[in-house]
Structure 1
Amino acid sequence: MNRDDLVRLRRARDRMDREYAEPLDIDALARTALMSPGHFQRSFRAAYGETPYAYLMTRRIERAKALLRRGDLTVTEVCLAVGCTSLGSFSSRFTELVGETPSAYRARPHESGAAIPACVAKRLTRPSRQRVRTAEPDEAP
């Protein structure tokens, strides 16, 4: 991948970081990167290790966690505030990335993280896909 492609991909990624609450689709992001939608998706995955949709949803869940920690919005309000239109899809993705439901996350105390600098907290609380490895039938557990 050449340097110009990386610059254009970064421009699209920065747009997702900035406009995560807006309705962003692959066509719009590909136009931002000056690429065709198919080339954009393949290049983005090669450069960042995940699809543009997965990256955008991770950003949205990251922002949702911050809003839920505040505790002044309902889960539905947070879902809409971060740009998700389906509460069910939002809750499923949140649970997949965080390991607990949005309601459970909102309900538990979060004061213990107050003394951690924001830059460190952001790194430590960044959602990541929870993968469970299952043993093959002929493998010992």
Structure 2
Amino acid sequence: MTVRKLDFRNPDHHASLFSVAPVRSSTTHDWKALYFERRDDVLFQTGEHAIDGHYLMVKLNPLSIAERRIDGRLRTEVQRRGSTAYVPNGCGHSVRYVRPLGSLCLMTLDDCTLREVADELGVTRFAGVPTFAQEPDNFVLNAFEALDRELRNGNPHGVLIGETYARLVAAHIVTCYGKGPRGGGRMPALTPVRMKWLDEYIETHLAHPITLETLARQAGLSPYYFTRVFKDATGLPPYRYVLHKRIEFACAALRRDELSIESVALACGFSDNAQFSKQFKKICGVPPSFYRMACRREEIAGIA
């Protein structure tokens, strides 16, 4: 019997598996390398299917009991917070909850992205090992809760956070859920010259979406290695660094007092003024309008 292969980003495929919509998902945010969603549900089951991509599920709350079948093997799972299941790309899969599901997050990761990262790690002929949700995986739990918060907050870091986490999770799958021959190699450094090029690129493109692939290309590195060495060099992941650069630009524009707040938001890459105000206050402690008024008062005091 041929098992149907489902792409969770395809609305028809998703609806054929889930009768209830997710609490939130990455569907509207153009995250290309991964699909992510959070589900809150009661009793739930699926038919036999295969997933287009590598599938990870992590439980957010205790306690649930499920019967899961992966690649023909059936197991009863006693799921607690952090319990994680992994299903390799194209592997047959079904699940039935016999005790209310509660809350969980799931992700499908593009197979090409995972194999690119495996190659960068020196792992040839990667083979994923199906894993039932019987043990906690704190890396996956923390990563998925971070992505859930990002979506709940309206995706202020844009596509860059999805691309970054896609590669971080891919590396985790390769090292913890797979097998295959490994080579060696030393991770290249992000030199001061490369960092200067990056800053110049970011500052001249703040009004536009900035992708991980583009930043990595500017630095002459692969996206996975770039993510790792960038944080070593700056102390911040790329998506957070770019957000801080946007807010720095906004502060300078508000001090010059030439543009409306809405125009400043657009100029530093926010299409949504409410999201701009929220992120500005989060980083600077006050809304943009308060910041502008404070700058005006300082200027008047200086003249007096």
Q: TM-score, structure 1 length as denominator?
A: 0.67
Match of 2:298 in 1: 110
Report Cα offsets for 1:5-59 as digits up to 9, x if no partner.
3243442233113332332111111111122222211110011101122222212
Match of 1:94 in 2: 280
Q: Which runs of 5+ in 2 are unaligned?
A: 1-186
Aligned to 1:84, what secondary structure does the other structure show?
A: coil
- Matched residues, percent identical? 36
1:61 matches 2:247: yes
Instruction: Give the total of aligned pairs.
Output: 114
Question: Separation in 2 of the partners of 1:57 and 1:106?
Answer: 19
Aligned-residue Cα RMSD (Å) equals 2.5
Query: CA separation of 1:42/1:89 partners in 2, compared to 1, >3 Å: closer, same or farther?
Result: farther
Question: Separation in 2 of the partners of 1:104 and 1:21?
Answer: 23
Contact 1:12 / 1:32 at 8 angstroms: preserved in 2? yes
Aligned to 1:110, what secondary structure does the other structure show?
A: helix
Question: Separation in 1 of the partners of 2:200 and 2:302?
Answer: 27
Q: What is the correspondence of 1:31-50 to structure 2 with a 5 Å cutoff? A: 31-50=217-236
Query: CA separation of 1:16/1:8 partners in 2, compared to 1, >3 Å: closer, same or farther?
Result: same
| Structure having greater relative contact order (Cα 8 Å, sep ≥ 6) | 1
Match of 2:260 in 1: 74
Contact 1:69 / 1:110 at 8 angstroms: preserved in 2? no
Question: Separation in 1 of the partners of 2:237 and 2:250?
Answer: 20
Q: CA deviation at 1:2?
A: 4.8
In the alignment, residue 29 of structure 1 is paired with which amino acid?
L
Q: CA deviation at 1:95?
A: 0.7
In the alignment, residue 45 of structure 1 is paired with which amino acid?
K
Question: Separation in 1 of the partners of 2:264 and 2:203?
Answer: 17
Query: CA separation of 1:112/1:30 partners in 2, compared to 1, >3 Å: closer, same or farther?
Result: farther
Question: Separation in 1 of the partners of 2:217 and 2:188?
Answer: 18
Question: Separation in 1 of the partners of 2:249 and 2:298?
Answer: 15
Match of 2:46 in 1: none
Match of 2:216 in 1: 30
Question: Separation in 1 of the partners of 2:227 and 2:301?
Answer: 36
In the alignment, residue 285 of structure 2 is paired with which amino acid?
G
Query: CA separation of 1:68/1:36 partners in 2, compared to 1, >3 Å: closer, same or farther?
Result: same
Match of 1:85 in 2: 271
Most deviating of 47-56 and 7-16: 7-16
Bigger Rg over Cα:
2
Q: Which runs of 5+ in 1 are unaligned?
A: 116-141
Correspondence for 1:52 among 221, 224, 238 = 238
Q: TM-score, structure 2 length as denominator?
A: 0.34
Higher strand share: 2
